[in-house]
Structures are given as C-alpha cells and as structure tokens.
Structure 1
Amino acid sequence: MTTYDKPFKSLADQVSLLRQRGLIVDNEAAAMQVLSKIGYYRLSGYWYIYRVQVQIPGAPGEAPRTAIGDEFVPGTTFDRVLELYEFDRRLRLHVLDAIERIEVALRVQLGYTLGAGHPFAHLDPASLDRTFTAFDDQNPVVSKAHWLTSGHAQWLTNVRRNEDRSKEDFVKHFKAKYGMPLPVWVVTELLTFGSLSTLLAGLKPAHKNLIAASFGIFDENCDGDGAALTKWIMNLTYLRNTCAHHVRLWNKNMIEQVSRLEGTPDLAHAADAHSRSRVYASLAILAYLTSQLDPKSTWRLETAELIKAGLAAIGQPDSRIGCPRGWENQPIWSTTYQPPADPLPAEHRRILQRFECIGTSEVGAVIDASATPSRRTSAVRYHRARSRLLGFPVGKTYRFPTFQLDAAGKRIDPLVEEANVGLGAQDRPWEVGAWWSTPNKELDGVSPMDLLRAGNLTSDLIAAAIRAR
C-alpha cells in the first residue's frame, strides 16, 4: 500500500498545475472561480479524454501498453472542458425529466395492479413472487423469524421507515381515519424509484406482464413482457441515481447494463454491446417509454437534438455516448414516429385478462391420454375446430381458458362443451369469451363461468341464456 503524500493545493496552485501540463487557461480568475464551485477532482473526469496517450514499456518479453499521461493534447482549452461539463449537466437534467414521468406512471401501475387483488397485497407473501419472499432455510432461527432474511422483509423495513417519516397530508389523513397499515396505492406514492424497482422485480410474472403491457412492452406472444420491463427499470434506477448524484454521465461505463431490447423492434438497434455499455441504450428506452406514456411528448426529439448539436459543439463524436452508426435515422428519433399499439385489440385484451389461460400442450396433457405430444396437439385442434373447446387466437398461438377443463375427469367439462358448441366458439371465440365472463341477467346477474365454478350451472340454464342472447 502506498502512503498518500500529495500536498494541498490552493486554487491558484491548481490552475498553475493545469497550465504546466499544457491546458490553455485564458482567464485565470474565471478558472479559479469555476474550480471553487465545481472542484478540481470533479472536472478531472471531463478533461481525462483530452490527456495524451503514452506508451509504457512492457516487462521483458511483453508488448508495451498504452496509458493516459498527465499532459494535455496540444490546443486543449479550459473553456472546452467546461463546455463538456455543461453538456453533461444538461444531459443529466434532461434524463431526470423523462425518468420522473416514468416513475409516476410506475407508481400508479404498481398500486393499481397489486391493489386490484387486495389493498394490502404488498404485505402478503402469497401475492408476490416466491423468489422475493423466500428465506434462507439452510440457517433457520426460532419460529418464523427466518422470513426476516427474505428480500420482501428487507423491502418492507424500508417501506415502514418511509411511512413513519412521511409528512404528506394524504398519509396523515389516512393514518388518522383508518390507522395502519397503508394500502398499496398509498405506499407506492412514498417509495423511492429504487424501492419501486425492487417491488416490480418481486411481483409474480403475471402482474409484471400486466404492467409491461401498460407501458407498451410486449413479447412475441402478444403478452406484456414483464421480464424486459424489470430489466429496463433496473437500468433506469441506476441511471436515475447517477443523475441525481451529479455523477458524470455522457461517456459513463454503465455498470447496470440494459438487456432484452431485441424483442422490441424500435429498440433492437440499441442492443449491441457498445450501445448498452454507454448511455445511448438507456436514452432509447426513455424515448420509447415517454412516447408510450404520451404520444405527443417531444422528449425524444429534444434528446436527438441534444446529442447531435451538443456533441458537435464540443467536437466529440456521438460514439462516445454509445450511438450506433446511423442511429439518427432510426424511426424512434423521427418527427413522424408513432409508438406501436397493443398487438391485440383493446376489447380482446380486456377479455383475455378475465381468464387464466394455458397453451395447446398443457390442454392436450389434460384431455388426451396419449403419450405422443403430436397426438395430444391434434386432439386439442380437433375439439377447438368443432367448437367444443374455446381457444383465443393470439399471435400465432391459441390461449385456452382453464375453467373449461375437468382435470380430474381428464376431459372438457361437458357443460362447457355444450355451451361452446351452442355459441359457436370456433367462429366467434372472443364473443363467446365475453359471454362466459360477463354477468348475465338470465342467470340472476352472475356470469356463466362463476355459476359453473359454484356448481350451479345446468343445461337448462345454458339453453335459456343462449336463447336470450
């Protein structure tokens, strides 16, 4: 270990040292003023790229290596370094503007999605993903205290701290009127972006997918891509902390790199390693999300202009921030860009969300005893083609509501089969899905699906409901 023995340097000493190393300082008093407000050490991250490269001889038998020396590239001015610093400051503030919009929307979606199940779902391990609530069962302590080792318990500790510290009027009102605990839609308004990110990561996949769909992020099966959204938000949390703590951003090596961009066509161009290692991929994500939240948003256009004009003004190539070749011609940066819509019509999406669905192979395993997957698939296709089995066409696949299967009997429930045939499920699957899941006045205001689950659906009731329809 080397002992630090560099002497303290006054502002005048700092300017003198920079001049000795070749930096052009036209106005010493102005430079000292800048150093007193920004700091020598902080600015050093911006003049680093203007220092000359030197060759250091290698050990015997080894090639020499390149390192950054103390001297500045000839012609480098203090003003140019300061211009770079100001560009980076504008970029950080611009990024925070977009993250604010996304953070607010994420608060709403987390509270809404979890709250739809139960007001206190965030407290219930059964409402969250097992990986979030799991504890170290290899080293248990008395009773259930080992639950305290789970990520969920640690997250709740931060939640309670935020609840106790909050001075918000809406929190005071709720505590005075109802007491504790606070419902999830109140809690989400108190969380930091990091805590929101942790909660998102701790949701069950189905809940993540619902939230991802609200942000316009879909996978190849037309489902919301919750795994992608989780990765993106983790990256944006890192980005937000970088900006909020005024850390250099423009050519920063992103430790928390973004992933799962290939599945979103408008972002696939940013999936290369260089774009993800710098801020460009994150900027592309912010452009996509802000456009999804508000198609009239001009944030992405302002970003493109900041990159092009801002970097040109300081003489830096756009590759410094990870821009791939031809990035400016990508649709997402154009003035005519329209964010992609849900691949499913809104009504179909609403109907689909009313059911727990499985795929063809899972249905085949229930209704056909064959050991051959192709035969089981053929059986599903056979019953669907004859309207006995309700299947929703989604993308290139079908989704089959589980309520219509009699798992114990290894068959399609006979009453469901009867209704599906009478309704023509093959030709009108979405209409039939709406019929099953909508309260029916012929059934005393209960949906046929709920009546079936309660064991009260009969052939006569089905016939009457179908005639009335």
Structure 2
Amino acid sequence: MTSYDKPFKTHAQQLDLLRERGMHIADEATALRALRNIGYYRLSGYWYIYRVSTKFVCALGAEPDIEVGDQFKPGTTFDRVLDLYDFDRRLRLHVLDAIDRVEVALRVRLGYTLGAGDAFAHLDRAALDEAFTQFDSRNPIASQALWLSSEHAKWLTNVRRDEDRSKHEFVKHFKAKYGMPLPVWVVTELLTFGSAATLLAGMKQPQKNIIAAGFGIFDEHCDGDGAALTKWIANLVYLRNTCAHHGRLWNHNVVDQLGRLEGTPDLIHASGVHQRSRIYASLAVLAYLTSQLDPESTWRTDTAAMIESGLAAIDESPDRIGCPPLWNREPIWAADYRPPADPLPVEHREILRRFECVGTADAGLIIDASSNAKRRASAVRYSRGRSELLGLPVGNTYRFPVFQFDTMCARINPLVAYANTALEAKDNPWGAAKWWSTSNIDMDSATPMDSLQAGTLTRQMIDNCVSHRNFE
C-alpha cells in the first residue's frame, strides 16, 4: 500500500496543473468558477477520455495493456469538458423525470395488487414469497425464527421507521381515525423507490406477473413477465440513485445491468453486452415504460433529440452511452410509436385473473395415470374437445382452471364436466369461464365455482342457469 502524499492545491493551482498537462483554457474566470462549483475530481470523469493513453504489447495472443497518462491529447479544451458535463447534467435530470413517473405508477400497482387480497397483505408472511419471508406454512412455529432474519423482516423495520417519521397529512389522518397498522395502499405511498423494488421482488410470482402486465411486459405465453419487471426496476433504482447523487451517466459503466430484454420485441436491439453495460438499455426501457404509462408522452422523442443534438454539438459519439449503430431508427424512438397492446383482450385478461390455472402437461398428470406424456396430452385434448374440460386459449396454448379437477380421484369433477358440456365450453370457453366466476342470484349471489367448492352446486342449478342463457 502506498501512502498518499500529494499536496493540497488551490483552484488556481489546479488550473495551472491542467495547463501544464496540455489542456487549453480560453476563459480562466469560467474555468475557476467551474472548479469551485463542480470540483476537480468530478470534472476529471469527463476529461478522462481526452488523456493520452499508451498501449504496451503483451504475450502473443493477449490483449495489450493500456496505460492512461496525465497528459491531454492535442486540442483538448476546458470548454469542451464543461459542455460534456452540461450534457450529462441535463440527461440526469431528464432521466429522473421518467423514473419519477415509473416509481409513482409502481407504488400504485403494488398497493392495488396486494390490497386486492388483503388490506394488510404486506404484513402477512403467507401472502408473500417464501424466499422473501422465510415462512413455511407447513411449519409456521419453527419458521418464526427464520423470519426474524428474513429480508421481509428487515424491510418491515424500515417501513415502520418511515411510518413513525412521516409528517404527511394523510398518514396523520389515518393514525388518528383508525390507529395502526397502515393498509398497504397507504404504506406504498411512503416507500422509497428502493423499498418499493424490494417489495416487488418479495411478492409471489402471480402478483408480479399481474403488475408486469400492467406495464406491458409479457412473456411468450402472454403472461405478465414479473421476473423481467423485477430486473428492470432493480436497474432503474440503481440508475435513480446514480442520478440523485449527481453521478456520471455519460460513459458510465453500469453495475446493476438489465436482464430479460429479449422477451420484448421493441427492446431486443438494446440487449447486447455493450448496450447493457452503458445506459442505453436503461434509456430504451424508460422509453418503453413511459409510453406504456402515457402513449402521448414525448419523453422518448425528447431523449432521442437530446442524445443526437447534445453529443453532436461536442463532437462525441453516442457509442459512449451504449447506443448501437442506427439506434435512432429503432421504432421505439419514432414520433409515431405506439406501445404494443396486451396480447389478450381486456375482458379475457380480467377473467383469466380469477382462476389459478395449469398447462396441458400438468392437467394431463391429474386426469391420466399413463407414464406416456403424449397419451396424457391426448387425454386433455379429448376432454376439452368434448367440452368436459374448460381450457382457456392463451396465445398458442391452453390454460386449465384447477377448480375443475378432483385430484383425490385423479379426474375431472363430474359436476364440472356436466356444467362445461352444458355451457359448450369448447366453443365458448370465455363465456363458460365468466359463468363459473360470476356471482349468481340462483346461488345466493355466490359464484358457481364457490358453490362447487362449498358442495352446494347441483345439476338442477346448472340446468336452470343454462336454460336462462345467463352465462354469455
């Protein structure tokens, strides 16, 4: 370890040092003001690329070593460094504007999705992912000790601290009227972006998928891709912290890189290593998310204009922030770009959310004891073709609501098969699904699915409903 022995330098001495190293300074007063207000070391990140570098030949086949010296390349000016810094400052503020929109929307969706299950779902270990809470529903007493050291317990500690410190009028009102704890849709309004990201990561996968679908992020099966959203948000938290602490975006090596971009066609071009190691991929993700939140938003086109004009004015390449060749011709930056719609109609998406479903392979394992996978799949197709088994068409696959199965007897519940046949489930799957999941006056306002599980559903009830045609 080498001890630090460089002497303190005044701003004027710092300026003299830059001159000695070859930087041209046209306006000394402006340069001194920049050193006083921005700082030598902050600006050094922007003049780094203008320093002379030397390559040293290494062993045969190895990459050459590069040593960056103290001297500046001929033609380097302090004004150009300041222009580059100003571009980066404006870009930081612009990025924060987009992240602000995404953060607020995420808070709302977290509170809404968790709150639909229970007002205090954020406190319920069983309502969140086991990896987050370390909670084992099969052994709740033993898992209590594990929970105390879980990420959920740490997260709740921070949440309670923020609740205690909050001066918001809506928090004061709730505490005065109802006491504690606060419901999840109030709590989410107090979360930092990082804390909101932690809660998102700690939710169960189906809940993450619902939120992802709301942001227009889908997988190949037309499900919301919660895993992708979680990775994107983690990257944006990193980016937000970089911006909030006045860190450099231009030519910045991104530590918390984006993943799972390939599933979104408009972002495939940003999935390369260089694009993700710089901020271009994050900018593309923000362009996608802001357009999903508001199709009329101009954030995307403003970003493209800022990159093109801002870097061209100082003769710097967009490659420094990871822009791929012809990046500005990608559809996502076009003025007439419109975000892709949900691959499912709104009504179908809403109906699908009412059910826990399995795919063909899992359905086959339940209704056919054969060890042959093709035979099991054939059994599922046969039952669906006879309208005995309700299969919801999603993309190129079918989803089978699990309430239909009598797992103890390894079959389709006979009453379900009877109802599905009467409902013509093969030809009208969404109508049949709607019937099963909609409250019915003939069943004391319960849904047929609830009546089935309660043991009160009868063939007579089914016949009455079908005769009235009140399932379409």
Confirm or deny: 8 A CA contact 1:365 1:376 kept in the other structure. Answer: yes
Matched with 1:352 is: 352
Partner amino acid, structure 2, of 1:248? R
Distance 1:429 1:188 in 2: 37
Do residues 419 (structure 1) and 419 (structure 2) align?
yes
Do residues 66 (structure 1) and 66 (structure 2) align?
yes
Deviation at 1:245, TM superposition (A): 0.3
Partner amino acid, structure 2, of 1:172? K
Shifted more, 151-160 versus 25-34: the winner is: 25-34
Matched with 2:118 is: 118
Q: Deviations over 1:345-375 (max 9, x none)?
A: 0011111111111111111111111111111
Confirm or deny: 8 A CA contact 1:385 1:426 kept in the other structure. Answer: yes
Partner amino acid, structure 2, of 1:306? M
Shifted more, 441-450 versus 390-399: the winner is: 441-450
What secondary structure does 2:384 align onto? Answer: helix
Distance 2:409 2:54 in 1: 78
Distance 1:391 1:59 in 2: 63
- Structure 2: give runs of 5+ residues left out of the alignment: 137-141
Matched with 2:455 is: 455
Q: 1:230 to 1:62 in 2, by over 3 A?
A: closer
Deviation at 1:442, TM superposition (A): 2.6
Deviation at 1:336, TM superposition (A): 1.1
Distance 2:332 2:60 in 1: 52
Partner amino acid, structure 2, of 1:96? L
Confirm or deny: 8 A CA contact 1:135 1:148 kept in the other structure. Answer: no
Q: Deviations over 1:219-251 (max 9, x none)?
A: 000000000000000000000000000001111
Deviation at 1:279, TM superposition (A): 0.2
Matched with 1:368 is: 368
Distance 1:402 1:66 in 2: 61
Deviation at 1:57, TM superposition (A): 7.2
- Structure 1: give runs of 5+ residues left out of the alignment: 137-141
Partner amino acid, structure 2, of 1:373? A
TM-score, structure 2 as length reference: 0.96
What secondary structure does 2:463 align onto? Answer: helix
Deviation at 1:61, TM superposition (A): 13
What secondary structure does 2:398 align onto? Answer: strand
Confirm or deny: 8 A CA contact 1:367 1:411 kept in the other structure. Answer: yes
Matched with 2:139 is: none
What secondary structure does 1:403 align onto? Answer: helix
Confirm or deny: 8 A CA contact 1:23 1:77 kept in the other structure. Answer: yes
Do residues 429 (structure 1) and 429 (structure 2) align?
yes
Distance 2:134 2:62 in 1: 50
Distance 1:283 1:183 in 2: 34
Q: How does 1:270-281 map to 2 (within 5 A)?
A: 270-281=270-281
Distance 1:65 1:354 in 2: 60
Confirm or deny: 8 A CA contact 1:442 1:468 kept in the other structure. Answer: no
Q: Deviations over 1:364-413 (max 9, x none)?
A: 11111111111111000001001010000000100001111111111111
Distance 2:186 2:326 in 1: 44
Deviation at 1:206, TM superposition (A): 0.3
Distance 1:327 1:59 in 2: 37
Confirm or deny: 8 A CA contact 1:122 1:128 kept in the other structure. Answer: yes
Do residues 446 (structure 1) and 446 (structure 2) align?
yes
Q: Deviations over 1:58-78 (max 9, x none)?
A: 699998622111011111110
Confirm or deny: 8 A CA contact 2:125 2:135 kept in the other structure. Answer: no
Deviation at 1:27, TM superposition (A): 1.6
Query: Once the two structures are aligned, what percentage of the paired residues are identical?
Result: 66
What secondary structure does 1:53 align onto? Answer: strand
Matched with 1:104 is: 104
Q: Deviations over 1:149-206 (max 9, x none)?
A: 1011111111011111110000111111111111111111111000000000000000
Matched with 1:32 is: 32
Do residues 397 (structure 1) and 388 (structure 2) align?
no
Distance 2:210 2:436 in 1: 22
What secondary structure does 1:369 align onto? Answer: coil
Q: 1:63 to 1:165 in 2, by over 3 A?
A: closer
Partner amino acid, structure 2, of 1:95? V
Confirm or deny: 8 A CA contact 2:135 2:143 kept in the other structure. Answer: no
Distance 1:277 1:165 in 2: 38
Confirm or deny: 8 A CA contact 2:360 2:380 kept in the other structure. Answer: yes
Distance 1:314 1:94 in 2: 19
Q: Deviations over 1:306-335 (max 9, x none)?
A: 111111011111111001111111110011
Matched with 1:5 is: 5
Distance 2:82 2:135 in 1: 50
Deviation at 1:439, TM superposition (A): 1.1
Point out 4+ residue stretches in structure 1 off by more than 4 angstroms: 56-64
Deviation at 1:22, TM superposition (A): 0.4
Deviation at 1:56, TM superposition (A): 4.9
Partner amino acid, structure 2, of 1:150? S
Q: 1:63 to 1:324 in 2, by over 3 A?
A: closer
Matched with 2:291 is: 291
What secondary structure does 1:442 align onto? Answer: helix
What secondary structure does 1:393 align onto? Answer: strand
Confirm or deny: 8 A CA contact 1:253 1:277 kept in the other structure. Answer: yes
Distance 2:166 2:357 in 1: 41
